[in-house]
Amino acid sequence: SASKPLSSAVSALPLSVEFFPPKTPEGAEKLRAVRQQLYALRPEFCSVTYGAGGSTQDGTLQTVQAILDEGQQGASHFTCVGASRDSVREKLALFQSMGLRRLVALRGDLPSGYGGMGEFRYAADLVAFIRAETGDHFHLEVAAYPEMHPQAKSPEADLQAYVAKVKAGANSAITQFFFNTDAYFRFVDDAHRLGADIPVVPGIMPIINSSGILRFADSCGAEVPRWIRLRLQSYGDDTASIKAFGLDVVAQLCEQLRQGGAPALHFYTMNQSTATLEICQRLGLAQ
């Protein structure tokens, strides 16, 4: 049956979930309900994205505060592109005063039209700065790209950039979403070979609709394999078929990652609970 777990030997696998800051009061209300549903999965932490360039930063802080108030572990994403040392110092003090212990430290991408690069060039600079300013207060996550960051000069340079973030003091990494497990396992092996042996947690993108995921994949350098793309396109606007197929594909992906030794799973929830809950039910990870 559809609800039968893929694996009979259910082993605990830590989970985390990611949200973006809602833009409207209705969105905030809806997200509150979504969070309550996802808390049933007992996530290790709930993270909230951060708009490089400033647009959503207040919304990020409000959402992180709500998560902390609900008694959950929160994590704020934190981008450094365009920022000054003083502005970062100020934000770190604010995060500390909120009681926050975990950050996802990123470079970010400035919206087009923004001028200067600010005082931080790469995420590794931000990680080093946070460590210098706040010691071990924060658990620092960084981004990893098993299929390579779109602006990287070469796969080797991108791997070195990742290793630099680890050497600067990152505690663990979350990957860009991917559908090719080989790329993930190779990335983990290559990083270990270079002495970067922090946990690399796969970022999982549930397939909720087809146009969204195809568009998004193009912009962030993730590959949607041809067979998945063609199947999605063939369903047209038959959303039930898209969701059923997406659930099969992503649950299989997670199962392969678990069997291959992935240390945890991080879900890009898109502020929705159903797809993430269904995947976890398939994996036998939901109570």
Measured from the Cβ of residue 91, the count of other Cβ atoms closer than 10 Å reads 18
The one among 152, 163, 214, 244 contacting ligand FAD by CB under 6 A:
152
> Which residue in 35, 91, 102, 149 binds ligand FAD (CB under 6 A)?
149
Quick one: which segment of 64-72, 99-107, 237-245, 275-283 binds ligand FAD (CB under 6 A)?
99-107
- Interface with ligand FAD, residue 52, by CB under 6 A: yes
Contacts for 75 with CB less than 8 Å, ≥ 6 apart: 16, 45, 46, 47, 48, 64, 100, 102, 103, 104, 139, 141
The interface region with ligand FAD, picked from 26-34, 66-74, 102-110, 111-119 by CB under 6 A, is 102-110
* Touching ligand FAD, residues 241-280 (CB under 6 A): none
Contact 76, 95 (CB under 8 A): yes
How many helices and strands in the chain, by DSSP H and E? 10, 8
Output Rg (C-alpha) for the chain, integer angstroms.
19
Amino acid (1-letter code) at residue 191: A
Could you tell me which of 207, 206, 122, 213 has the C-alpha nearest to residue 168? 122
Residue 123 interacting with ligand FAD (CB under 6 A): yes
**Helical pair 155-167 and 181-193, crossing angle rounded to 10 deg:** 60
Residues recognised as catalytic: 18
Q: Which of 16, 35, 38, 49 binds ligand FAD (CB under 6 A)?
A: 49
Cβ neighbours around 204 below 10 Å, total: 25
Asked if 50 touches ligand FAD (CB under 6 A), the answer is yes
CB of 255 to ligand FAD, least distance (A): 21
Q: Which stretch binds ligand FAD (CB under 6 A): 84-92, 131-139, 154-162, 191-199?
A: 154-162
Retrieve residue 147's tokens: 């299929």
Q: Which is nearer to ligand FAD, 198 or 242 (CB)?
A: 198
To the nearest whole angstrom, how small is the minimum distance from the Cβ of residue 199 to ligand FAD? 13
194 binds ligand FAD, rule: CB under 6 A? no
Which residues does 141 contact at the CB level (< 8 Å), separation at least 6? 47, 75, 102, 103, 104, 105, 170, 171, 172, 173, 174
Question: By CB under 6 A, how many residues form the interface with ligand FAD?
Answer: 25
- Tell whether residue 140 is a contact of ligand FAD (CB under 6 A): no
Which residues bind to ligand FAD, rule: CB under 6 A?
49-50, 52, 77, 79, 104, 106-109, 122-124, 143, 149, 151-152, 157-158, 161, 164-165, 174, 176, 203
